[in-house]
Amino acid sequence: MPNAQHWLAIALAGSALSGCSLVRDQLGLTPKPAMTAPPVVHDQPRSAPLQPGDNVIVKAVDRVGPAVVRIDVVKEISNPFGGIFGMGPSSQRQQGQGSGFITRASGLIFTNEHVVRGADQVAVTLPDGRNFKGKVLGTDPLTDVAVVKVVADNLPVAALGNSDQLKPGEWAIAIGNPFGLNNTVTAGIISAVGRLNAIGDGQRVPYIQTDAAVNPGNSGGPLINAAGQVIGINTAIRTAPGGGLSFAVPINLAKRIAQQIVSTGQASHPFIGVQLMNLTPQLAREINATNSACTVPELNGVLVKEVVKGTPAAAAGIRQCDLILKVENNPVQTPTEVQLAVDRGQVGEPMQLTLQRNGKELIVQVRPRELPRNN
């Protein structure tokens, strides 16, 4: 049986071992347990990551943006009760704002007719802060196109594209001054082209439809493509809960109207003098059952509802109940297509119409006149 000295020796040995372990821990000599690697939560890509490249929208805006202007207008509105019983002045000032873009370095600017309608004063401000007094050279309410001139030179110019080559799905970029917020850029795609009757019946514009955000103040500003070319003039919007649609005048049409305005001070619109309607098989059956004056085929087409006396159509021998098949050898399916085809003609120049009358085709030559201004 161990005596007291033996237990003391064991205790001292234990203290020595414990002290040695403490020293080893302090000196970092005691091996530590190996760390467990974290779990893998993703795979490395098999190909190199995409590198940031040129942004087509940024490049397009850089090219056109310097030529986009703000247009401020002041209109004097007469007050019929002004000066009577202290009901205010005889006229009041009304201010408006829109957008436009420079097409010639000498100061020619495209915008909307409704932006400068009735304007007594026009001010044009460039993105670089320069300000000019503008003069309205002319307007066309039918297409909502106007031309403004400022006295300047070496101004930045927006390149014009070809709106006849547009396809749905292409980039559509709008630049303007919505709600007075200068140089605002929005982007979307071209949703449709040749959109007839987009904002009402009787239009003479095959609108470009886009989903790019356009708001009040964008009117008159450019719609551009990914190449930095103007393809339209932002003109109108249709809104509904949860979204909206934007419409632009094709730049080819705007350019043709602007050329006429610069040349003569006004746009020219040929007029032949017919009232048209959409013919359907159902409507044809109703007409044939109730109208003994003529018989029309049961199909879809464009029917002459009325010929105005003393007009080019009457002189050419066009009659009520004629079916218009072609204008200048181009097939037409709706009254709007006929109107657009006639509008592409020249006042006083012969225009060929292919008709169907009593089941037989015939060709007539009509010489359009200038559309009366009061219409």
How many C-beta atoms lie closer than 10 Å to residue 82's C-beta?
13
CA angle 254, 257, 260 (to 5 degrees): 150
How many C-beta atoms lie closer than 10 Å to residue 344's C-beta?
15
Distance CA 300, CA 244 (A): 31
CB 66 within 8 A of CB 128: yes
> Which is the catalytic residue, given 144, 268, 269, 322?
144
Distance CA 210, CA 190 (A): 5
Distance CA 101, CA 30 (A): 79
Answer yes or no: 219 catalytic. yes
Residues ≥6 apart with Cβ < 8 Å to 363:
352, 353, 354, 355
CB 79 within 8 A of CB 89: yes
DSSP run (H or E) holding 101: strand 91-104
Answer yes or no: 90 catalytic. no
Answer yes or no: 144 catalytic. yes
85: left (phi over 0), alpha (psi -120 to 50) or beta: left
Two tokens at 131? Answer: 């300000």
Q: Which amino acid is at 118?
A: G
How many C-beta atoms lie closer than 10 Å to residue 74's C-beta?
13
> Which is the catalytic residue, given 219, 246, 268, 269?
219
Angstrom distances, CA of residue 282 to CA of 231, 246, 258, 279, 288: 40, 34, 42, 8, 10
Angstrom distances, CA of residue 196 to CA of 103, 208, 240, 335, 338: 27, 9, 19, 10, 12
Task: Tell me the catalytic residues.
Answer: 114, 144, 219
